[in-house]
A and B are shown apart, each in its own frame.
Chain A
Amino acid sequence: MAQASNPARFGLWAALALLSLPVLAGLIGVIGPAFGYLPALGGNDPSLAPWRALLAWPGLGQALRLSIVTGVLATALSLVVTLLIVAAWQGTRSFTWITRALAPLLSLPHAAAAFGLAYLIAPSGWIARGISPWATGWERPPDLLIVNDPWGLALVAGLVIKEVPFLLLMTLAALPQTDSLRSQMVARSLGYGRVTGWMKAVGPRVYAQIRLPVYAVLAYSMSVVDVALILGPTRPPTLAVQILDWMTHPDLAMRFQAAAGALLQLALVIGALLTWRLAEGLVARWGAVWAAAGARGVAADKVLRPIGAAGALAIGLAVGLGLAGLLVWSFAGLWRFPALLPDIWTLRNWTGQADNLRRIGIETAVIASGATLIALFLSIAALQAQSKNRMQMMGLIYLPLIVPQIAFLPGLATFALLLGADGTRMAVMAVHLVFVLPYVYLTLADPWRAWDARAGLAAAALGARPARVLWSIRLPMLTRALLIAVAVGFATSVAQYLPTVLIGAGRVSTVTTEAVALASSGNRRLIGVWAVVQMALPMAVFALCLVVPALLFRNRRGMQIA
């Protein structure tokens, strides 16, 4: 067989370095300041002062509780809803329909989905308007704290509507490897109900396949910043939001306690992951007893199947109506409560922002395109080189997704500051690449391996060298998968909030940082404009990436989706 070429091997090592070094450097970069050592800011002697300052913050206990409860609750709910949807509907036409409807939500930035949900459930949102005044008697928006509620329930909801589509797609990718349809058929023929049979016969195998994505969801939910800024409690906020607050405080001395907070956040996530792992063992033991006990659970289907469908429907509606609401707000002039549509429509919200939109829109697109193309190149090189050291890559690929951003980005920001690289477009692009690469790689890996290797063999037997096989046969045949990976990478970059804020240092902004910065302003029209752009940009790229191969291969039936 052809040996991996030098560029491919270089790409593999570059990818491995890119996945691990920034995380390690960032973690090292917070350890120093967390113990008082950062000469550039006057911290010359190691001390515990940052930890004392952190512990002296009165909101700490509540912030920790919030981070744990919202993170674990959002993860558990997302997992249960996902498994319920699959267990109740796999193999039916409704299932195809559900997955088709939820899949596009993946390209949607978390912040845009969160804004949409906020506007839907807010006291002046469509839900309140829809039931007022006939059902509620409200003539004015009620004075209720629904968004930013102190328990973090809105935050949990905002996370669940984004994580269910993610886990669902991960599950779909895992299903073919679990022999799920035949197992389900055996369970059904033994008299089991749909949901019970699936949970007992297929569930454990599927969970083993999606375990790493679930860990990523847990780590992400516990430490998310942008969604928490939009939907989460404010006094106190979650720990992650407070750390960002300290990091961006004009008083640079606050960075010491921010670093201590980042380490505490890391410990919190590690503790939660370990606890989750232990809980997996308990659930598995209990589940084995449950499975062997023989209860068929046929009656349960009557309840569980509608619940699964309702969950999927609620998520689709929440996101769909939320985005529609943002669009309407962006064109709204006067809009009285409880009217369902604005009294006056206007373009002024848009025209007033035109210059900013153009400038920042282009900046966002340039950063996203750069990071995506580099990630694509590295992914292809790594896939080309790694037939043997595949495991090496798979372990590391999840590293930037599992180590919380808020735990290592402050350290990277400190290094960037010391190197004078902070606030440059290149630095922002580089830090985006750390998060874009895993998604591009994971999107491309399956189609890459599923490619019929005999096509490469046939080409080689016809005299084509390995490079020609790659460029003339493999890449063109994978055009569709390559473009999907591009779209995913672009969407991932556009959605990055924390890396842009911390490494951009306020001098580089994207549509996402602009939109999230408006969160506390309460200016619905302006937020509508920026959130619409934030969701439209990745969606436009997605549409383009679907249309191009369709046009390119309109006369090639063998290249159409099977």
Chain B
Amino acid sequence: MSLRLEKLTISHQGAAMVALDVKVDAGEVLTIMGPSGCGKSTLLAALIGALPPAFTASGNVFLDGQDITHLPTHARKLGILFQDDILFPHLSVADNLGFGLPKATPNRKEAIAQALAEAGLAGMGPRDPATLSGGQRARVALMRTLLSAPRALLLDEPFAKLDSDLRVQMREFVFAAARTRGLPVILVTHDRDDARAAGGAVLGVTGAALKVWNGP
């Protein structure tokens, strides 16, 4: 699996703010860093096909060699995690996971129970998501995305709202889950620790390589 951005540029009122030409391979993490307002989140919006009308994009996006540039969001098979968990408040934890699981899946209950167990939430299926802790909710959101069988993972500062202990755990959990499934990952963040933990290449929105730590 791989995700390739081919001469992708995003402009706002004629001025290009994002310009990238990169390829992310299976299990790799590409980190895009920059201050808020630089266009990081706009990049992810463009990738999932939800670019706000004020912006224009050119170039192409390939997922496993297939051009997905003009597909609607629901057909792209790109999983995304936001800063907030965006669990659906009217559904139980299990129903949230069920929403992500493709319809044709056999043994839905078992798949959901297994996902809960993997996230350390065994038996919490019937719970109201609002009664879970922030860390638990973040893990449910991740499992919901993974159950939808995405072919790449997009992370929009997903650790920013967690407190520091939890943030370390959650980072490891997410990156490990992506590695075992062989998913290409694009992470946007303004947190250097995120970039360091991701371990892959770090770029600015215009494609310039960034140095995030003073090491050898």
Contacts and interface: CB of A to CB of B under 8 A. Distances in A.
Determine if chain A interacts with chain B. yes
Contacts of A458: 80, 82, 86
Interface string B86-127: 111110000000011010000000000000000000000000
Contacts of B53: 1
A358 interface: no
The 8 lowest CB-CB distance pairs between A and B, nearest first, are A558-B89, A557-B130, A460-B73, A558-B130, A458-B86, A462-B148, A462-B100, A476-B90
A430 interface: no
B89 A463 contact: no
Interface string A439-470: 00000000000001011011111111110000
A2 B51 CA distance: 11
Nearest to B89: A558
B86 A455 contact: yes
B74 A465 contact: yes
B144 interface: yes
B128 interface: yes
A461 B128 contact: no
Interface in A259-318: none
30 contacts: A1-B49, A1-B51, A2-B73, A452-B86, A454-B82, A454-B84, A457-B73, A458-B80, A458-B82, A459-B88, A459-B99, A460-B48, A460-B50, A460-B73, A461-B148, A461-B150, A462-B74, A462-B148, A463-B75, A463-B100, A476-B88, A476-B90, A477-B88, A477-B89, A477-B90, A479-B90, A557-B89, A558-B87, A558-B90, A559-B90
A556 B89 contact: yes
B82 A463 contact: no
Interface string B53-74: 1000000000000000000111
A458 B89 CA distance: 13
A456 to B, nearest CB: 9
Contact of A556 (B77, B79, B102, B130): B130
A464 B86 contact: no
A558 B129 contact: yes
B2 to A, nearest CB: 19
B36 interface: no
A460 B100 CA distance: 10
Nearest to A473: B88
Contacts of B87: 558
Summarize A's interface: helix, strand, loop or mixed.
helix
Nearest to B141: A458
Contact of A1 (B50, B79, B100, B128): B50
A92 interface: no
B214 interface: no
B31 interface: no
B155 interface: no
A472 interface: yes
A460 B86 CA distance: 12
A455 B77 contact: no
B148 A2 contact: no
Nearest to B79: A461
A463 B148 contact: yes
A553 interface: yes
B68 to A, nearest CB: 12
Nearest to A549: B90
Interface string A470-484: 001100110100000
B9 interface: no
B131 interface: yes
B145 interface: yes
A555 interface: yes
Interface in B137-170: 144-145, 148, 150
B143 to A, nearest CB: 12
Residue of A2, A461, A465 ringed by the most chain B CB atoms within 10 A: A461
B99 A555 contact: no
A459 B144 CA distance: 10
B203 interface: no
B50 A457 contact: yes
Given A452-B86, A457-B80, 12 more contacts: A1-B50, A1-B53, A2-B73, A458-B82, A460-B72, A460-B73, A460-B74, A461-B73, A462-B74, A462-B100, A476-B88, A558-B128
Contacts of A452: 86
Residue of B73, B75, B78, B150 ringed by the most chain A CB atoms within 10 A: B73
Interface string A526-562: 0000000000000000000000000001011111000
A457 B48 CA distance: 9
Contacts of B80: 457-458, 461
A556 B92 CA distance: 8
Contacts of B78: 461
A557 B128 contact: yes
Contacts of A460: 48, 50, 72-74
A473 B90 CA distance: 8
Interface in A1-39: 1-2
B151 to A, nearest CB: 11
A473 B74 CA distance: 14
Nearest to B148: A462
Contacts of B129: 558
Nearest to A554: B128
Contacts of B88: 455, 459, 473, 476-477
B90 A463 contact: no
A401 to B, nearest CB: 31
A477 B49 CA distance: 23
A464 B77 CA distance: 10
Contacts of A477: 88-90
B86 A463 contact: no
B108 to A, nearest CB: 14
B130 A461 contact: no
A462 B98 CA distance: 11
Interface string A308-346: 000000000000000000000000000000000000000
